[in-house]
Amino acid sequence: MAESLKSLLGEDAPQRLATLLHRAWSRFDRKAFTALAMPGYPILGLMARGERMADALEQTLPADFERAAAILSSAMDPPLPMDARGEPCSDGRGYSAFLYLPYSIFISRHGLEHFEAAMDAQHALTQRFTAEFSIRPFLVRHPAATLARLAQWTADPSGHVRRLVSEGTRPRLPWARRLPALVADPSPGLALLEHLRDDPSRYVRRSVANHLGDVGKDHPQRLLALAGRWMSDAPPPRMQLLRHALRTLVRRGDPDALSLLGSGHSSRLSIRSVSWAPARPHIGDNLVVTLALHNPEAEVQTALVNLEIGYVKANGQLSPRTFSLGNVALASGGVVTLRKQLSLRQMTTRTHYPGLHTVALQLNGRRHPLGDFFLDPSPLTP
């Protein structure tokens, strides 16, 4: 699990980064940089590797931040291309974009008193990696100036830069520094999102949806009010954005969120059959849940369908997590079969524990228990 993360900055990353920097600045001391970065490097985790290389940059780049930032920017490869849907795509570089993580750390450490140079560097950085982490100290130290610059970037030609506007201001961005001011009052971020709600890039719109999801955790009524307003004459991509933004409230069975999405009514669909295989899985298996829904009514029945798994936590209590099975519409007497494959492998985002797990179905937010299964330890566990 940890190994897969730190491999994003593999053991050849210091040498590779030194080569890029020397290519941009012939006076860059590659040997000194790698000598500073490599001791103990193989046993370090992802962030520790990035910080180690940022430490080495501090000792091998010019002390003047503006000169150092210019070197970092000129040592970047061309921006990552985007496909027709506005999604980043690989161009065969042969290395992870996390190679630029040390740049992000260096800029956040040393650029706060050099606003213009730091903004220029982050504008370049986000087109190769991301500046969503390095921009956050600027939102804390220089909120007005940073928000003003981000407002300009909502019209930037690069989808990477426009995404930074949304992702960098997310109040609860995972793995990142919390932004207490935007948690308390999300208005500045929401004002930026108004310019991005119909962005041509799906990558940007997904970030907008995730930003709104963050807002909904602390201010559900703000999210519901905005969603209701944005739904007026909304094109399909914006509706998809809003469904994603409202997903947490929908999974909680929030009646207002369900009503906005046309699923506020009580579904009369019946659960005809349900099964999962293997019946008694092990940690590391894939679990396939199969169920059939039937419409016994004379009229068409619709429902927003979610599968809920109650995962066992380390303390033995259950933590429910829901998975979307989509929207269904069944004519009278109609039957639909739905399947969902769930990975029970250990992940960076979820640790599985042995014990009795519950299974339930949500139809328009109403919960219907389906049973339970016992998750055994991995057969490979000594």
The DSSP call for residue 282 is B
Residue 359: beta bridge partners?
309, 371
> Which CATH number characterizes residue 120's domain?
1.25.10
| Average pLDDT of the residues in 317-325 | 93
Are 160 and 222 in the same domain?
Answer: yes
From 213, 237, 260, the end of a domain falls on 260
The answer to whether residue 382 is domain-embedded is: no
- Please report, rounded to a whole number, the percentage of residues in the chain having pLDDT higher than 70: 98
Residue 128 sits in the same domain as residue 110: yes
Single out the residue in 215, 241, 260 at which a domain terminates. 260
Q: Could you give the CA distance from residue 119 to residue 131 in angstroms, rounded to a whole number?
A: 10
Residue corresponding to tokens 């009795």: 356
Q: Let me know whether 101 and 165 are in one domain.
A: yes
| Nearest CA-CA partner of 109 in 99, 121, 98 | 121
In this prediction, what percent of the chain has a pLDDT beyond 90? 87
What pTM was computed for the model? 0.83
> What is the three-class DSSP state of 354?
coil
In a domain, 182, yes or no: yes
User: What pLDDT shows up at residue 381?
Assistant: 57
User: In this predicted structure, what is the pLDDT of residue 263?
Assistant: 85
Q: Tens digit of pLDDT for each residue in 327-357?
A: 899 999 999 999 999 999 998 778 999 999 9
Do 250 and 319 lie in one domain? The reply is: no
144 vs 90, which has greater pLDDT? 144
Q: Please, which residues have CB within 8 angstroms of residue 269's CB and are 6 or more apart in sequence?
A: 293, 294, 295, 301, 303, 328, 330, 363
Domain of residue 14 covers: 2-260
Average pLDDT over residues 235-249: 95
338 and 275 in contact (C-beta within 8 Å)?
A: no
How many structural domains compose the chain?
2
List the single range of 81-95, 133-147, 242-256 with lowest mean pLDDT: 81-95
Any domain includes 265: no
Q: Is the dihedral of CA 251, 257, 259, 260 positive or negative?
A: negative
- Identify whether residues 363 and 287 lie together within a single domain: yes
Considering the domain boundaries, does residue 380 fall inside one? no
**256 and 312 assigned to the same domain:** no
Count Cα atoms within 13 angstroms, Cβ side, for 74.
Answer: 13
One-letter identity of residue 202 = R
Alpha carbon 151 to its chain centroid, in Å, reads: 22
Out of 215, 232, 260, a domain closes at: 260
- Residues 99, 20 share a domain: yes
Q: In this structure, are 254 and 291 located in the same domain?
A: no
The closest of 121, 231, 139 to 185, measured between CA atoms, is 139
In 3D space, the residue among 325, 215, 334 whose CA is nearest the CA of residue 272 turns out to be 334
| Both tokens assigned to 62 | 């010019």
The pLDDT mean for the chain works out to 94
Helices (H), the chain: 2-6, 13-24, 30-37, 46-60, 65-74, 101-110, 115-125, 136-141, 143-153, 159-168, 180-184, 187-193, 202-218, 220-230, 236-245, 247-251, 255-260
- Is 254 part of a structural domain of the chain? yes
The distance of Cα 105 from the centroid of its chain, to the nearest Å, equals 20
| pLDDT of 260 above 90 | yes
**In the predicted structure, residue 2 carries a pLDDT above the cut 50:** no
Of how many residues is the chain composed? 382
pLDDT tens across 121-173, in order?
Answer: 999 999 999 999 999 999 999 999 999 999 999 999 999 999 999 999 999 99
What's the sign of the alpha-carbon dihedral 258, 262, 264, 266? negative
- Res 379: pLDDT: 81
Domain holding 319: CATH number? 2.60.40.10
Co-location of 226 and 318 in the same domain:
no
pLDDT band at 382, cuts 50/70/90?
Answer: low
Question: Helix axis angle, 159-168 relative to 202-218, nearest 10°?
Answer: 10
Q: Do 249 and 206 have their domain in common?
A: yes
Same domain, 164 and 93: yes
Rounded Cα–Cα distance for residues 221 and 215 (Å): 9
Considering the domain architecture, whether residues 13 and 157 belong to the same structural domain is answered as yes
| Parallel, antiparallel or unpaired: strands 335-343 and 318-330 | unpaired
What is the C-alpha separation between 363 and 355, in angstroms, rounded?
26
